[in-house]
Every structure is written in structure tokens, then in C-alpha cells.
Amino acid sequence: MEMLSARQLSRELPEGLPFYASQGQECRLFEQAHASRLPLLIKGPTGCGKTRLVEHMAARLGRPLVTVSCHDDLSAADLVGRHLIAGGDTRWCDGPLTRAVRQGAICYLDEVVEARKDTTVVLHPLADDRRQLPIERTGELLDAAPGFMLVISYNPGYQNLLKGLKPSTRQRFVALSLDYPAPEVEQRIVRAESGCTAEQAARLVRLAQALRRLTEHDLEETASTRLLVMAARLTVAGLTLGEACRAAVVDALTDDAETAAALAEVVLAVVGDA
């Protein structure tokens, strides 16, 4: 069966626009939030397309994109900026959030609940009608440049009492929930991102659906669209579909030998070794 390139599968997209297959009205909501100068919160499981949506919409809106991958050690100073010593002189260096505010860019904080608590407090004046960023260390009060938009995301599956957004933060954002795409949409994504055949994409999506129905195994995450794309690319590179699934899906989901063996049985039943 003929393999199609991402360009062939997304011919309707303007040159340079990142491929994104819409699940519903999320692109329209994103556009309206940007036009209304509202910040956006995107919720969804790992690998469901949150980051790609932001990349796609930034290009579609013609705005520069500043992305920050949040982690446990990310502080407010990492976002806003700090004084640095260079050649015996002290100079101020803007952080990514400050650069986005000055440029009128879209600032995307990925997995924001992973950051330290003082980080989200810095976002508050940017996420309400003030649209301002106070920089205490320089005494500046920056007004967001036209086009600026604050977008944050997190995975509700990881949310607990220690890692969650405070109501005072959540209620400043328009919220958008994403999930794994419908099968026909997910097949289109897998084909566009890998160049695999329609049959290979269909079998990978059937595997993902089977794995997502599993409840008896203690998995932190299930098979994401991202993992399906990785498996498809390995298949295009020359591995069998079964080999690709074991490398990109089974061993990526668990380190437990018994769980891996159980998942491998599902792979064998759904996609075989071909």
C-alpha cells in the first residue's frame, strides 16, 4: 500500500504551518481567546496533542512562540529573569516570560503544575485584566505588548493535593479539555506524522484503544498518540510493526517485567509480528 508523506496528507495547510488534526472546536476557541486577550488553560493526558495545538495556533495567528517546559526546580526568577555578572559588570537578563511579554508572543508553560508554587503567583497579573508583569528586581511594570497570550497546560491524571492549580489561578483562565483523538482522526495523525500506510495506522490505533481499556495493570500512563507516531516511524524505518510496538509502546510504558509481558500479549493479539 502506498505510503504518503505528511505534506501530501496535509495539503490544505499553508507552507510552514505545523500539522494539527482538530478534534472539535479547540482551534476556534484558541482563536477567540487570543482575540479577546484571554489566557488559556489546556488540560489533557500526555501525548494527546496539547503542545502541537499551541505550535499550530501560534503559526496560524502569526505570533512568535516561547515555550517553557516546567519542572520541580523552575522558579519565578527562571521565568522573569535575573541579574548576571559578565566581565565584572552586572546586567539584567530577561527570562522567557518577560521576553514574551515584551515581544507580544504566545508564552506556553507546559505542565505548569510541575513548577514551584511561587511561579504561578507571578502569572496572576498577566492572567487578568491588568495584563502586566511586575519585575521587582528592576522596578519595571511591563504592559503586555499587543498579541501577547499566556497559555498553560497540565495533565489532570497527575493532579493531586500537592500538585494542582489553586482556584485563584485556575479561575483566571479559559479552560480547554483535550483527550486522545477519535480513531479516524488519530489514524490521520499517525499517517501524517510518520508516512506509514493506512493499514499500519489503523492497527496501531486499534492497539492504543485496546491498551487504553486496560484497568488491571498499574500504569501511570497509557498509550498516547505520540507513542503511536514513534512506533509508526520505526516501522517506516524497517522494523516490523510488532517490534516497533514493543520498543516504542510496551517498554516506554513500564519497567515491570510482568506488566511488560502482559502488554506484549496485547500487542501480539492486535498487531501480530508483521
pLDDT at 244: 97
Give 3-state DSSP helix, strand, coil % of the chain, rounded to 5.
Answer: 45, 15, 40
pLDDT at 163: 66
Grid cell in block for residue 177: 479539555
Instruction: Determine the Cα–Cα distance for residues 57 and 42; give it in Å rounded to an integer.
Output: 13
pLDDT at 27: 96
State the pTM of this model.
0.87
Residues of the chain with pLDDT under 50: 1-13, 161-162
pLDDT at 86: 78
Instruction: Determine the Cα–Cα distance for residues 79 and 71; give it in Å rounded to an integer.
Output: 12
Q: Are 67 and 51 in contact (CB under 8 A)?
A: yes
Q: Looking at domain 22-177, which of 2.60.40.1180, 3.40.50.300, 3.40.50.10860, 3.65.10.10 is its CATH number?
A: 3.40.50.300
At residue 86, the 3 state secondary structure works out as strand
Q: Are 219 and 254 in contact (CB under 8 A)?
A: yes
pLDDT at 217: 60
